[in-house]
Amino acid sequence: MGSPLKRFLTVARAGVLAFLILAFGQGVWGALLASNFKTGARIPWGPLAMALVLWLMWQYLGGKWWPHSTAEARRRYLRARVVPGPVFAWVLLAGILSIVALAGYWIVMFQLVKMPGNVIPSLAGSPFLTVALVVIMASLVAPFTEEPAFRGYCQVILERDFSGPVAIVISSVFFALAHITHGFLWPKLLVYFLVGLVFGVTAYLTNSILPGIPVHIMADMSFFTLIWPHDTARRLVWEGGADTWFWVHAAQAVIFTLLAILAFRRLAKMTEGERIATVRQPVAVSVSQRAG
């Protein structure tokens, strides 16, 4: 695993790269959205321009263009590998179960701790097409920036010097800290940490960020439309007692967590052989190079 200094530098490098990727993607999206609404929301050019930015960013992170000396490293760090159909199906199942569980945790936390809701930009008065494209692009920006940043570059770098579980935990801590903009509140950060674990485990088991992206999109769409808009109206259990819905959401969190764990265990068994081969491959290459 190397010296403590080497491991510290690995963590620092992984974190810096993750936050740089995130800052670029989210920063450009925020600037385009603000400019679009400043010049008039009738023509939704901001989401369309962001689609091009995401494509260009994805190409570069995947090894395209200059400098060619880093092309192979960038391709490995992105780890955008297509997975077999059955593996993808189990990722979707585990992901959907996890989304339902995480929604339960989020709602329960808002009934246990008084917190401001996540700020959602007001689109009132905007044309339907503009609203639809903004919501769709907002649900794409996070997956296509956060997955390459945290489960791609960050976690891949960490996995070289740490065990898989440790790398997942560290990348999940970084992921949670990236959401401090939603409020420096431990219940929110805890849920974001759990979100990081879900996607970190997915990327580790499949050795790819691709299957986690559709799940991430579904999660964002669900929270944008079904969860966050109602946060400020949630009643604290300390003010009026726990109603039936509180216990329903608590049970939802527990039951779907257990179901998600079972699905991830099945996914782990399906991909175990390939993970072992991936770990052994660098050793085999190193031995062959020394022999040569």
Percent of the chain with pLDDT over 70: 93
Angle at the Cα of 191 from the Cα atoms of 187 and 196, rounded to 5 degrees: 145
pLDDT tens, position by position, 202-211: 999 999 999 9
> What's residue 199's pLDDT?
98
Q: Grade residue 286 by pLDDT with cuts at 50, 70 and 90.
A: very low
Nearest residue to 171 (alpha-carbon basis) of 141, 192, 186? 192
> What's residue 292's pLDDT?
43
In the predicted model, is pLDDT for residue 248 greater than 90?
yes
Q: What one-letter code names the amino acid at 271? A: T
> What's residue 290's pLDDT?
41
The answer to whether the CB of 20 falls within 8 A of the CB of 175 is no
Task: Spell out the alpha helix ranges (H) of 113-163.
Answer: 128-146, 155-161
Q: What is the mean pLDDT of residues 170-196?
A: 96
> What's residue 281's pLDDT?
56
> What's residue 40's pLDDT?
87
Domain boundaries of the chain, sorted by first residue: 4-281
Q: Would you say how long the chain is, in residues?
A: 292
In the predicted model, is pLDDT for residue 273 greater than 90?
no
> What's residue 172's pLDDT?
98
Q: What is the mean pLDDT of residues 146-171?
A: 97
Residue with the bigger pLDDT between 144 and 280: it is 144
pLDDT tens, position by position, 39-87: 988 899 999 999 999 999 999 999 999 999 999 999 999 999 999 999 9
Q: Grade residue 279 by pLDDT with cuts at 50, 70 and 90.
A: low
> What's residue 284's pLDDT?
42
CB crowding 17-50: b at 16 or more within 10 Å, else e: bbbebbeebbebbeebbeebbeeebeebbbbebb
Rounded to whole angstroms, the Cα distance separating 232 from 211 reads 33
Round the average pLDDT of the chain to a whole number and report it: 92
Please indicate, yes or no, whether the overall pTM of this predicted structure exceeds 0.75: yes
In the predicted model, is pLDDT for residue 126 greater than 80?
yes
The answer to whether the CB of 49 falls within 8 A of the CB of 9 is no
Angle at the Cα of 254 from the Cα atoms of 269 and 174, rounded to 5 degrees: 70
